[in-house]
Amino acid sequence: MNREQLFQYIVKKRSFLCVGLDSDPSLFPASVASEKDSIFKFNKAIIDATHKYAVAFKPNLAFYEAEGASGWEQLERTVEYIRSVDPTLFIIADAKRGDIGNTADRYARAFFEKMDADAVTLAPYMGRDSVEPFLKFENKWAILLALTSNESAVDFELDIYKKVIAKGIEWGSSDKLMFVVGATRPERLAEIRSLAPDHFFLVPGVGAQGGTIAEVAAAGMNSKCGLLVNISRNIIFAGKGENFAVAAEKRAAEAALEMSEYLNSAGI
């Protein structure tokens, strides 16, 4: 999928919602937690309930790796299931990988060939070598951490995020590369939009971390939308009990409705 195709999908669905599959088994309701493949079962229910309102799903690798080989297998099944529900859904492996060239090449093949994700999140620390192998795959995306939503982004990111944006634009066109820009610093989001007018931003930090869709849309939207707003816990754990899927659907629908209004206002 290239940028125009992603944009058209957003236009069609009236949403730029990415549902984050931070599927933490300790928060599953009892009926799901007791299943052997509880992560996949939970994800399937969430995907069924929310896919109408979302353009993307983002499994957070940590929650799968924490279960070892079984977790990895459930991650693979989750990706396959998303594809089977709607092949156009944009699948982001939130892996934050970053390693030297020959190793990065392996990671790219793990996520793009073995797993059929559309995009992988990458940490830029090690520079160009660690990003380029991901840009060689047609219609696949590298999503580079720029300024993240966590408190300690101030430790190092503030020193170099502008350089990361500049280098990222040099390395990858807006058809292949996005940036992660947190929702928790809207003033910086507006500044980063001016530095990277065409590139899509994957925006975490809405909900549990305190950012809002309104601020993100105001600061970050461009003529091709240019935003994928991720919500994880606030959707998938909206309901704590057996009605979790209904609660997730309600929350996803609310988010999508709000997004459709910002798209309308922008004439998209």
Catalytic residues: 96
Tokens 């060239």 sit at which residue? 101
121: β partners: 143
Quickly list H helices, the chain.
Answer: 3-13, 30-33, 38-50, 61-65, 68-85, 101-109, 132-135, 153-171, 186-195, 213-220, 233-236, 244-265
At closest approach, how far in Å is the CB of 64 from a copy of itself? 9
The smaller minimum CB distance to a copy of itself, of residues 183 and 256, is found at 183
At closest approach, how far in Å is the CB of 253 from a copy of itself? 25
The smaller minimum CB distance to a copy of itself, of residues 52 and 106, is found at 106
The smaller minimum CB distance to a copy of itself, of residues 101 and 239, is found at 101
Interaction site with a copy of itself (CB under 8 A): 22, 24, 60, 62-63, 65-70, 72-73, 76, 96-104, 106-107, 109-110, 114-115, 123-130, 145, 148-157, 159-160, 163-164, 167
57: β partners: 19, 91
Quickly list H helices, 112-266.
Answer: 132-135, 153-171, 186-195, 213-220, 233-236, 244-265
At closest approach, how far in Å is the CB of 148 from a copy of itself? 5
The smaller minimum CB distance to a copy of itself, of residues 55 and 153, is found at 153
At closest approach, how far in Å is the CB of 266 from a copy of itself? 30
Cα–Cα dist 137/135, whole Å: 6
